[in-house]
């Protein structure tokens, strides 16, 4: 499975921390590596819980020596559960917390544990400004992007349910009822392989959800859907967008310069 750049840096820092302490790299070091990497949601974690890394080292003896590869395998299972093709830092941290559940209880209160999960392991709202937006060249992704037509609503809803379940249906229906519909779809050989939607209100907008069929991911479909929507919003005069419940935080950071909204 693929690994995001940030997750790769977490693992690199984990191995470095183990080497510096003359220890065998383990799941414990994944938590240390996440705090040392310290960008994106991990930066917010460090700032919110500045004493956490010291607390972990002080309780290092409470942790079992679970090989570090176990964290990667469990993180892969978590990513697959969410139908994601990249292991990210949230998957790694969640995996480490699960594998070292008993030791973690000696270090963290339940409130602190839930804080970590909320900051790092859960979807996050993000913001992006369109004040200086210029649509980049779209990728050769093998899928045609177009605005959805009202007569295709039932087909699109059926696709969303089949691919992603029912949690997004209400929002998609709402966006389909806009004039014109604020849903863009990606198609290949007359089959839907992705969608994205948004709701605009004067100069602000809420983007999402967006989903791409599993086999079509990592080919640029999501990137193209995102920027077709952003270009549409820019042409409407929208300046500020809230990306709601972004799972792949790093994707939005790189694709459009989005930043986390602090919790």
Compute the distance between CA of residue 91 and CA of residue 235 in angstroms, rounded to an integer. Answer: 36
Helix%, strand%, coil% for the chain, nearest 5: 50, 20, 30
pLDDT of res. 263 = 80
- Residue 189 backbone phi and psi in degrees, to 5: 55, 45
Tell me the average pLDDT across 89-101: 97
Q: Report the percent of the chain where pLDDT is more than 90.
A: 95
Q: Is the per-residue pLDDT at 254 higher than 90?
A: yes
Name the more confident of 231 and 82: 231
On the question of pLDDT at 1 being above 90, the answer is no
Q: What is the CATH number of domain 2-122?
A: 1.10.1780.10
If we measure between CA atoms, which residue out of 158, 162, 203, 193 comes closest to residue 176?
A: 158
Per-residue pLDDT, averaged over 86-90, amounts to 97
- pLDDT of 141 over the 90 cut: no
Q: What is the mean pLDDT of residues 126-153?
A: 95
Other beta carbons within 10 Å of 123:
16
Asked if 88 and 6 count as a contact pair (C-beta separation under 8 A), the reply is: yes
CATH 3.40.630.30 in the chain: give the residue spans: 126-260
* Number of helical (H) and strand (E) elements in the chain, helices listed first: 12, 9
Domain with CATH 1.10.1780.10 in the chain: 2-122
Measure the CA–CA gap between 24 and 64, rounded to whole angstroms. Answer: 11
HEC profile for 217-252? Answer: CCCCHHHHHHHHHHHHHHHCCCCEEEEEEECCHHHH
Q: Average pLDDT in the 166-176 region?
A: 97
pLDDT score recorded for residue 193: 98
Statement: residue 24 has pLDDT above 90: yes
Is the overall model pTM greater than 0.85, yes or no? yes
* 41 pLDDT tier (thresholds 50, 70, 90): very high
**With bands split at pLDDT 50, 70 and 90, how would you rate the model's confidence at 90?**
very high
Band of the pLDDT at 68, cuts 50, 70, 90?
very high
Choose among 42, 257, 9: nearest CA to 132: 257
pLDDT at 125: 98
List, for residues 176-188, the tens digit of each pLDDT value: 999 999 999 999 9
Does pLDDT of 89 surpass 90? yes
The CATH number for 126-260, chosen from 3.40.50.1820, 3.40.50.2300, 3.30.390.30, 3.40.630.30, is 3.40.630.30
Average confidence (pLDDT) over 205-212: 98
Mean pLDDT for the chain overall: 96
The secondary structure element, H or E, covering residue 144 is strand 144-147
pLDDT digits (tens, 9 = 90+) for 7-19: 999 999 999 999 9
The pLDDT value recorded for residue 29 is 97
Would the pLDDT of 142 be above 90? Answer: no
pLDDT of residue 7: 98
State whether residue 200 is helix, strand or coil.
strand
């Amino acid at each position: 499975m693929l690994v995001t750049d940030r997750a790769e840096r977490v693992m690199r820092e984990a191995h470095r921390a183990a080497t510096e302490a003359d220890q065998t790299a383990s799941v414990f070091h994944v938590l240390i590596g996440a705090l040392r990497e310290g960008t994106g949601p991990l930066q917010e974690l460090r700032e919110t819980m500045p004493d956490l890394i010291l607390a972990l080292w002080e309780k290092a003896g409470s942790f079992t020596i679970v090989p570090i590869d176990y964290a990667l395998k469990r993180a892969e299972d978590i990513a697959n559960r969410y139908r994601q093709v990249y292991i990210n830092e949230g998957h790694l941290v969640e995996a480490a917390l699960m594998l070292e559940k008993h030791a973690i209880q000696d270090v963290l209160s339940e409130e602190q544990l839930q804080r970590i999960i909320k900051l790092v392991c859960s979807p996050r709202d993000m913001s992006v400004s369109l004040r200086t937006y210029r649509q980049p060249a779209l990728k050769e992704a093998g899928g045609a992007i177009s605005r959805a037509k009202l007569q295709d609503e039932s087909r699109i809803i059926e696709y969303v349910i089949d691919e992603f379940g029912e949690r997004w249906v209400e929002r998609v229906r709402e966006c389909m009822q806009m004039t014109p519909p604020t849903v863009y779809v990606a198609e290949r050989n007359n089959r839907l392989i992705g969608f994205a939607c948004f709701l605009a209100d004067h100069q602000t907008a809420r983007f999402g959800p967006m989903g791409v069929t599993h086999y079509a991911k990592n080919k640029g479909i999501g990137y193209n859907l995102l920027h077709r929507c952003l270009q549409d919003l820019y042409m409407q005069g929208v300046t500020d967008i809230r990306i709601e419940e972004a799972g792949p935080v790093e994707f939005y950071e790189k694709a459009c310069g989005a930043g986390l909204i602090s919790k």
